Chains A and B, each alone.
Chain A
Amino acid sequence: MELLIAIMVGVLVAASVYLMLARNVLRFLFGLILISNAANLVIFASGRLTPQSPPLIPEGADAPVELVANALPQALVLTAIVIGFGLFAFALTLVYRTYQNLGTLNSDEMRLAEPVEAKAEARK
């Protein structure tokens, strides 16, 4: 199954890179969601996939009695999901605010910080 997941992650990453290369920042945002999903899957699958049982210790035992799923990548992925959501929400508000202020979602038209005129002047 890991190999199948590897190919799937490859497709996810390819799709997100393609989206992030777009000029429309909304597409960039979609790419961001996809790539964080892909990254989470990479971490999760690197800990190996075990369908047996979740990483819980049964009552009365001091340690898991049978083979359980790898807990470490799960812990990492759990926080990564929440942080990824925070990042996404911030990016979304940024895009939203940008659109309100500049009236465009095209990154080529967002030239406030580095105006084209100033650049041309600096080149002289």
Chain B
Amino acid sequence: MAKSEAEVARVYGGPAGWISVAIPAAIFVWMLQYMGAVAAGQPVLVGIDWVPSMDIRLSVLIDGLSLTFALLISGIGTLVTLYSTKYLGNHPEYPRFVLFLMLFMVGMLGLVLSDNLIALFVFWEITTISSYLLIGFSSDEAKSRRSALQALLVTGTGGLAFLAGIILLGNVAGSFELSEVLGQGDVIRAHPLYPAILILFLAGAFTKSAQFPFHFWLPNAMAAPTPVSAYLHSATMVKGGVYLMARMNPALGGTDAWFWALVIAGGFTTVFASVLAIRQTDIKQVLAYTTLMALGALTLFIGAGTAAAITGMMAFLVVHSLYKAALFLMIGIVDHETGTRDVDTLRGLGRKMPLTFLGGAIAALSMAGIPPLVGFIGKEFLYKAGLDMDRATLWITGTIFAASALMFVAAGISVLRPFTGKLAQTPQTPHEGPWAMWIGPLLLGSLSLGFGLFPDTLEAWFVAPGTWAVYGDYGYAVDLYLFREVNAAFLLSLATFATGAVLYAIHRPLRGWLGRVFEANPIKFDPGWDRVLDGLKALAGWQTRLLQSGVLQRYIFTVFLTLAVGIGATIWAKDAMDFRIDWVGSVEGLQFKHWAVVVFVTAGAILTAITTSRMTAIAALGVVGIGVALIFIIFSAPDVAITQLLVEVLVVVLVAVAMLKLPQLGLARDRKRRPVHAALAGTIGVLVTMVMIGVVQGNIDRRLTDFFEVASWPEAYGRNIVNVILVDFRAIDTFGEIAVVVIAALAAYALLRGTRYDRNGDKPEDRT
């Protein structure tokens, strides 16, 4: 008996929760061991052959970039799963949730660690699919389903482009191994296919990382449970695209096309998203848009491409993951304990939820870029890199300035407002969440503070190795610091605080004004998306009506007609037939048994086709089957013959059993169509005969057979060559085939035992 949902949660919820925490924690600890080698500037490369014939290896590349990502994924993964034990622990589908989350984590880790581009793509798709499942976790809500599908279609389409790009790149570089591809940047950039590769890769990266104009799916994806948002949409999945761009920088980066594509798209996303962030009233949406802003900034600085820019990018990457995950977890606690995330409702929670407030506050200070938190360092080095650029200086610095000021406001909106002031009425009485929930924001917050106070650690562990890997120069000296002198970047920081403070003071009227501006804007991406989908559906409907007449007979007729034309045209065009056939020689030496079998089978086939009695048809079919078995016997195929005979017995049994309930054949077709059908059938028969004559007249390639004959005993220790081929040389094929047999049996079983429909095709209860 199937267990009821609540029972499943009760029985498996506990262990599922703890296992799900233990796995990422163990991976985190395991990954730490590579820290020493990577910090010393020595990437680790290990791997096993997967599909050697196609140059696909399951290889792992651990360098500064991938290790940083792997630690973020497993570290934040640990906190998020721990958090989920309380956030969703009582949900009836909690084990399913854990399964998806683990699947996602595996995909993400594989994505950042794999050295082979094909493997990377496989993991890339795993993250796409698992994020679809996670966003649509509340599958009973239409909004959830729509958001999930949108995310899947946008990132999935990008994934296809990415695959095409990988294949092109693999052909150009002569290898799918990243460790080899990355060293051939000059060859790749000079190749005529470079623009195509670039466009395809960026299509993958931009959709995954929600860069403008593919940004619209990310805020919608906030329909997912909050731990998912914290995990997928802040720290990990959306950074998959950023990872890809950073990873490919040594191979694809450095050209004008790369520079402008990333700088413009990234910069635009940065400003656009931070303005939209201010507009929101749902704090989770505010955070969603600030995530977009961060992704834009990361893209921008990968595009900028100088060593300083890459340093800033790496610093900001770590900084952002720390504070954004903390803030998402924080708003999850608030939502969980008060029942709302509305910025206008929440006030004065600080005294009720002091630990959550503490964690959130540190994270928010980091997001606002206030010293001595690590956010300040991140921002400072972005400014520094922007000011040092020799082109697009104003654009890069300007976007970062605007975004940082708006981040300051967003930080205020998401923490200062809900936690300070006088306690307001909320749907549930607020109180502190359980420790498993507040430990996450608190720990991440303390890391933000710790790294801010000890920037050298951040530099040595993450930023320097990451910069080396992305910039491709292991000699570059990275130097992070909190404060050294009053320079242009520092002054810009001060200006940012001032602007941010002013904007925060007026943010509520500003929000109203922005709302009106955006309402007036005619270009809306989300409704536009619906129109695109509707268009696709209309197109599909049109071509379906064109091709699908709904009459089975006509479909089959079309299929066979196409077959006949295809074979006939090929024979005619290639002039493939040699009609000088040695008929006399071919029948020479034939014995009576040969003729008898041929006559039997032919007669049986014709009788089956023309009879109107089903018993005659079954008997005739039996004659054909036995005749075929006799051919196998005559021509030395004992295994095949035995199989054929046994199957023939079973066919007769099955048909006989089924016939008990099936009607007589009756007159099968109307007279009008009969000549046409007979003509087509005859044509195909003649064509097949011609093809076969052509085949048997030609020379036979016996190389495989010869190999099997020679290798069968010495290598596979079997004297029955047929069986050795089946279970040893081609065992993987056989495995596929027996899987098909099982599937056919189960499908038939399900068909017989499954849901019954009545004659109108309606299931008694419901029909969708």
Q: Could you tell me which A residues sit within 8 Å of B by CB distance?
A: 1-24, 26-28, 30, 33-34, 37-38, 40-42, 44-59, 61-64, 68-72, 74-75, 77-79, 81-90, 92-97, 99-103, 105, 107-108, 110-112, 114, 116, 119, 122-123
- Tell me whether B680 and A17 are in contact (CB under 8 A): yes
Q: Inside 8 A of B518's CB, which chain A residues have their CB?
A: none
- Tell me whether B752 and A85 are in contact (CB under 8 A): no
- Tell me whether A89 and B748 are in contact (CB under 8 A): yes
- Tell me whether B550 and A27 are in contact (CB under 8 A): no
Q: Inside 8 A of B643's CB, which chain A residues have their CB?
A: 78, 81-82
Q: How distant is the Cα of A21 from the Cα of B669 in the complex, in angstroms? A: 9
Q: Inside 8 A of A38's CB, which chain B residues have their CB?
A: 688
Binds A, one of B186-194, B204-212, B506-514, B586-594: B586-594
Q: Inside 8 A of A7's CB, which chain B residues have their CB?
A: 689
Q: Is B621 an interface residue (CB 8 A)?
A: yes
A79 to chain B, nearest CB (A): 5
- Tell me whether A74 and B609 are in contact (CB under 8 A): no
Q: Inside 8 A of B669's CB, which chain A residues have their CB?
A: 21-23
Please tell me which one of the listed residues B658, B712, B751 contacts residue A57 in the complex, with CB atoms under 8 A apart.
B712
- Tell me whether B658 and A92 are in contact (CB under 8 A): yes
Please tell me which one of the listed residues B624, B647, B665, B759 contacts residue A27 in the complex, with CB atoms under 8 A apart.
B665
- Tell me whether B658 and A34 are in contact (CB under 8 A): no
- Mark each residue of chain B from 262 to 277: 1 if its CB lies under 8 Å from any CB of chain A, else 0: 0000000000000000
Q: Inside 8 A of B709's CB, which chain A residues have their CB?
A: 55, 57, 63-64, 68, 71
B151 to chain A, nearest CB (A): 30
- Tell me whether A108 and B553 are in contact (CB under 8 A): yes
Per the 8 Å Cβ criterion, residues 718-750 of B in contact with A are: 719-722, 725-726, 730, 733-734, 737, 740-741, 744-745, 747-748
Q: How distant is the Cα of A122 from the Cα of B640 in the complex, in angstroms? A: 51
Q: Inside 8 A of A30's CB, which chain B residues have their CB?
A: 608, 617, 621
Q: How distant is the Cα of A96 from the Cα of B662 in the complex, in angstroms? A: 7
Known: A19-B609, A20-B556, A23-B668. A6 touches B692 (CB 8 A): yes
> Which residue on chain B has the smallest CB distance to residue A104?
B663
Known: A14-B684, A21-B680, A93-B751. A37 touches B625 (CB 8 A): yes
Known: A6-B689, A111-B550. A74 touches B647 (CB 8 A): no
Known: A8-B602, A26-B614, A82-B647. A46 touches B624 (CB 8 A): no
Q: How distant is the Cα of A47 from the Cα of B680 in the complex, in angstroms? A: 28
Binds A, one of B116-124, B176-184, B248-256, B649-657: B649-657
- Tell me whether A81 and B594 are in contact (CB under 8 A): no
Known: A21-B560, A27-B668. A3 touches B640 (CB 8 A): no
Binds A, one of B218-226, B391-399, B475-483, B693-701: B693-701
Q: Inside 8 A of B677's CB, which chain A residues have their CB?
A: 18, 21-22
Please tell me which one of the listed residues B665, B688, B714, B761 contacts residue A24 in the complex, with CB atoms under 8 A apart.
B665
**A13, A46, A55, A64: residue with the most chain B Cβ atoms closer than 10 Å:** A55
Please tell me which one of the listed residues A20, A55, A105 contacts residue B663 in the complex, with CB atoms under 8 A apart.
A105
Q: Inside 8 A of A59's CB, which chain B residues have their CB?
A: 719
- Tell me whether B689 and A57 are in contact (CB under 8 A): no
- Tell me whether A122 and B713 are in contact (CB under 8 A): no
- Tell me whether A48 and B696 are in contact (CB under 8 A): yes
Q: Is B552 an interface residue (CB 8 A)?
A: yes
B12 to chain A, nearest CB (A): 34
Q: Is B628 an interface residue (CB 8 A)?
A: yes
Q: How distant is the Cα of A45 from the Cα of B614 in the complex, in angstroms? A: 30
Q: How distant is the Cα of A74 from the Cα of B662 in the complex, in angstroms? A: 35
- Tell me whether B647 and A89 are in contact (CB under 8 A): no
Known: A79-B737, A110-B552, A114-B548. A10 touches B747 (CB 8 A): no
Q: Is B710 an interface residue (CB 8 A)?
A: yes
Q: Inside 8 A of B340's CB, which chain A residues have their CB?
A: none
Please tell me which one of the listed residues A18, A56, A108, A122 contacts residue B720 in the complex, with CB atoms under 8 A apart.
A56
- Tell me whether B601 and A12 are in contact (CB under 8 A): yes
Q: Inside 8 A of B650's CB, which chain A residues have their CB?
A: 85
Q: Is B598 an interface residue (CB 8 A)?
A: yes
A68 to chain B, nearest CB (A): 7
Q: How distant is the Cα of A31 from the Cα of B632 in the complex, in angstroms? A: 21
Q: Inside 8 A of B628's CB, which chain A residues have their CB?
A: 37, 40-41
Please tell me which one of the listed residues B705, B710, B722 contacts residue A78 in the complex, with CB atoms under 8 A apart.
B722
Q: Is B516 an interface residue (CB 8 A)?
A: no
Q: Inside 8 A of B637's CB, which chain A residues have their CB?
A: 44, 54, 69, 74, 77
Q: List 29 A-B contacts (CB under 8 A).
A: A1-B590, A3-B693, A4-B586, A5-B598, A10-B685, A11-B605, A11-B606, A17-B680, A23-B552, A23-B669, A30-B621, A37-B624, A57-B709, A69-B637, A71-B709, A71-B725, A72-B705, A74-B722, A79-B737, A86-B745, A90-B744, A90-B747, A96-B658, A99-B662, A99-B663, A108-B553, A111-B550, A114-B548, A122-B541
User: A52-B636, A55-B721 given. 6 additional CB < 8 A pairs?
Assistant: A15-B685, A44-B635, A46-B696, A92-B654, A99-B661, A110-B552
- Tell me whether A83 and B693 are in contact (CB under 8 A): no
- Tell me whether A90 and B748 are in contact (CB under 8 A): yes
- Tell me whether A87 and B614 are in contact (CB under 8 A): no
- Tell me whether A89 and B744 are in contact (CB under 8 A): yes
